[in-house]
Amino acid sequence: MKWGVIVFPGSNCDRDAHDALGRILKQEVRFIWHKETELGDLDGIILPGGFSYGDYLRSGAIATFSPVMNEVISFAKRGGIVIGICNGFQMLTESGLLPGALRQNHSLSFICQEQPIRVERTDTRFTNQYESHQVMGIPIAHHEGSYFLADNELKRLEDRGGVLFRYCSTDGEVDANSNPNGSVNNIAGIVNEGGNVLGMMPHPERRCDDLIYHSDGRLIFESVIEEFASA
């Protein structure tokens, strides 16, 4: 697959994503500066983590109006694969490609830790390489990661199976104690109705190399690659 990693001023996980896709997963991958207005020939896009525009106003809000985002939005609307991680997830909600908003952690602290998350579905293009309800430790590193969606919309999201990952305990228990930031229904990652846009706060690109703890995060990208190859 041909991948693009969008680089905003203040992105800091762009290189990790590039390394995971290029060096580890042997994909064709290139950086795309946020001022570019054409994406070229791409099969997948990563909106990486970081602090685009210093998180001014609201995390991800200003990046949403970067020149390249028009292209990213129309790419997503045409069914192109977009993965937004952390700050990238915030951009996806800000741009309306995904519902809801990411707000300050209830603790008001920046949280940086290995966080167990549970895979809620394995029949999607982002999770088909996981075992049912697999639990994996994936790092979170955010200050605005508390996912919020109003009750009626939350029900719609849950009913359509839009939640792909939830924060949980190491044995897979999803409850208030295993919720690090106050996200509604322990939501850590969601997919759009078209099934082609994934947003998640945890950083799977940091768990793609066995040299660094383990490589469970890699299965997200491998799921996409697998599905793409068989399509």
Partner 1 sequence: MKVIVEVMPKDGILDPQGKAVQQALHQLGYGEVRNVRVGKRIVLNVEGSDKTIALKRAEEMADTLLANENVEGFKVHLAGGKA
Residues known to be catalytic: 86, 203, 205
d(CA 229, CA 216): 20
* Pairing of the two strands 163-167 and 111-119: antiparallel
- Residue 57 binds to partner 1 (criterion: CB under 8 A): yes
| Between 147 and 221, CB nearer to partner 1 | 147
The 10 Å Cβ neighbour count of residue 10 is 16
Q: Does 101 bind partner 1 (CB under 8 A)?
A: yes
Q: Give the pair of three-digit tokens for residue 17.
A: 């994503």
Q: Please choose, from the candidates 208, 211, 212, the residue with its C-alpha nearest in 3D space to the C-alpha of residue 224.
A: 208
x-or-dash string of contact with partner 1, 6-45, rule CB under 8 A: ----------------------------------------
Q: How far is the CB of 181 from partner 1 (least distance, A)?
A: 10
* Residue 73 in the binding site for partner 1 (CB under 8 A): no
For 59: left if phi > 0, alpha if psi spans -120 to 50, otherwise beta; the answer is beta
Sole residue written with tokens 């491998």:
222
Least distance CB 101 / partner 1 (angstroms): 4
> Which residue from 104, 122, 128, 185 is in contact with partner 1, where contact means CB under 8 A?
104
Instruction: State in angstroms the smallest separation of the CB of 182 from partner 1.
Output: 7
Please choose, from the candidates 49, 48, 54, the residue with its C-alpha nearest in 3D space to the C-alpha of residue 31: 48
Taking contact as CB under 8 A, which single stretch among the options 16-24, 56-64, 162-170, 192-200 is the one that binds partner 1? Answer: 56-64
**Residue closer to partner 1 (CB basis): 99 or 189:** 99
Smaller CB separation from partner 1, 38 or 96: 96
Collapse the DSSP code of 179 into the 3-class scheme (helix H, G, I; strand E, B; otherwise coil) and give the result: coil
User: Between the CA of residue 84 and those of 128, 132, 156, 165, 211, what are the distances in Å?
Assistant: 18, 23, 21, 14, 24
Binding site for partner 1 (CB under 8 A): 57-58, 61-62, 65, 93-94, 99-101, 103-108, 146, 148-150, 182
